[in-house]
Amino acid sequence: MIDRRRLIGLPFLAPLIAGAARAQGLSGRPVTIVSPYAAGGTSDIIARVLGEGLHELWKQPVLIENRPGANGSIGVSAVARAAPDGHTLLAVASSALTLNPLLYKKLAYDVERDLVPVSVTGLVPNVVVVNPKLPARSLAELVAVAKARPGGLTYASQGIGSNGQMNAELFRLATGLSLLHVPYKGSAQAVTDLVGGQVDLMFDNLPTVLEQIRGGQLRALAVTSAARTPLLPEVPTVAEAAIPGFDTSAWFAVLAPRTTSPELVAQLEKAVVGVLAQPPIAAKLAAAGVTVAAAGSKDLAARILHDRQMWGEVIAKAGVVID
């Protein structure tokens, strides 16, 4: 189901190269960037900002198409089946590339067989947030509260097998806590219920809950990245506060159908990396909590392999299963 599809391209963004023409191999028809999640999430934000820059670079329409469902599998599968002509790209969160292949026995796509890496686009810290009524102002206090409550605390996630669940399970395994998982279909309802007190805590992408943190509706206890975020400089990292070495920043990427020609992939990579390097683009993403990390296709391929191994160990130890 398509949530939203619209033409983007803001006139205040300066062209990357004076008189830049569209990439060789692309016709004048629209380029579609598929975001396999609901509109408004981090992946969607990155896709739209990137689309603005590509529109200015190529001087042709760039559309953002939301195809949510099954932890991103629906949208990813659509791109995997698309024509390899550069006119359909995938802007996706790491979980669809690293977690889904580990969890779904019948996945409609194979990352290595059906997709080709273009570039990582950005890094986003996850943040541990709690309802302000919970008597915990630090991770140490959260651990103490959880241990004092029979059955532990409840944690919300974006769904079974989501990055949020994996972060919470890694935290649970490291601390020995008993936490009850309450999965949702995406972040929106999960955050609403966390604000309402129906669940106790959540690991979510910072851009998704930043407004609620700033408004006092949620309390941030720690970020999962290796370093603190400048958007919440007073909030420590999980590594600082409780678990040395804890670093599970979410990352996002652009891919194309596997049989896209190497020449066209190289052109797409150059375009994506170049757009993300532009100060107006980087600043807009930074304001949303996204750190640009456009290092190209080789870096993306390496990240996929690294994270798949890391999360495979967590899944096995935590016994996470999707029927």
pLDDT for the residue 10: 36
Residues in contact with 30: Cβ distance below 8 Å, sequence separation at least 6, in sequence order: 7, 60, 61, 62, 63, 87
Using the predicted structure, report yes or no on whether residue 52 has a pLDDT greater than 80: yes
244 band by pLDDT with thresholds 50, 70 and 90: very high
Segment 134-155 mean pLDDT: 93
Domain ranges of the chain: 5-124+250-315, 128-248
Residue 279, CB-side half-sphere exposure with 13 Å CA sphere: 2
CATH topology of domain 5-124+250-315: D-Maltodextrin-Binding Protein; domain 2 (3.40.190)
What would the two tokens of residue 285 be?
């993403």
Cα three-residue angle 5-193-41, rounded to 5 degrees: 25
Whole-model pTM: value is 0.81
Tell me the sheet residues that pair with 252. 93, 122
Tokens 């802007």, residue located: 91
CB 92 within 8 A of CB 72: yes
Q: If 0-12 CB within 10 Å is exposed, 13-18 middle and 19+ buried, where does residue 106 land?
A: exposed
- Sequence-ordered list of residues with C-beta below 8 angstroms from that of 258, at least 6 positions apart, any chain: 80, 84, 113, 114, 115, 116
More confident residue, 150 or 242: 242
pLDDT at 71: 78
Q: Tell which phi-psi region holds residue 9, choosing left (phi > 0), alpha (psi between -120 and 50) or beta.
A: left
299 exposure class (CB count in 10 Å sphere: 0-12, 13-18, 19+): middle
Two tokens, residue 265: 């992939």
The span from the CA of 62 to the CA of 153, in Å, is: 44
Chain centre distance of CA 234: 23
Instruction: Count how many Cα atoms sit within 13 Å of the Cα of residue 287 in the half-sphere of its side chain.
Output: 7
What is the spatial distance between Cα 59 and Cα 210, in angstroms, rounded to a whole number?
Answer: 33
pLDDT for 70 equals 80
In this structure, the strands spanning 250-257 and 115-124 are: antiparallel
* 226-238 mean pLDDT: 94
Give residue 19's region: left, alpha or beta (phi > 0; psi -120 to 50): left
Highest-confidence segment of 19-23, 138-142, 156-160: 138-142
Contact (Cβ atoms closer than 8 angstroms) between residue 118 and residue 256: yes
pLDDT given at position 106: 87
User: Residue 272 corresponds to which tokens in the numbers above?
Assistant: 């994506």
Residue 9 has pLDDT above 50, yes or no: no
Do the domains 128-248 and 5-124+250-315 match in fold?
A: yes
pLDDT in tens, 63-119: 999 998 887 899 999 999 999 999 999 999 999 999 999 998 889 999 999 999 999
Burial 19-40 (b: 16+ CB within 10 A, else e): eeebbeebeeeebbbbbbbbbb
How many Å from the N-terminal Cα to the C-terminal Cα in the chain? 22
CATH of domain 128-248: 3.40.190.10
Q: Is the pLDDT of residue 294 over 90?
A: no
pLDDT for res 12: 33
Mean pLDDT (the chain, rounded): 89
pLDDT band for position 13 (cuts 50, 70, 90) = very low
Looking at per-residue pLDDT, the higher value among 180 and 28 belongs to 180
pLDDT confidence band for 20 (50 / 70 / 90) = very low
pLDDT of residue 41: 80
Please state which of the ranges 17-26, 124-133, 152-161, 299-308 shows the lowest mean pLDDT. Answer: 17-26
Ranking 90-94, 139-143, 247-251 by mean pLDDT, the lowest is 247-251
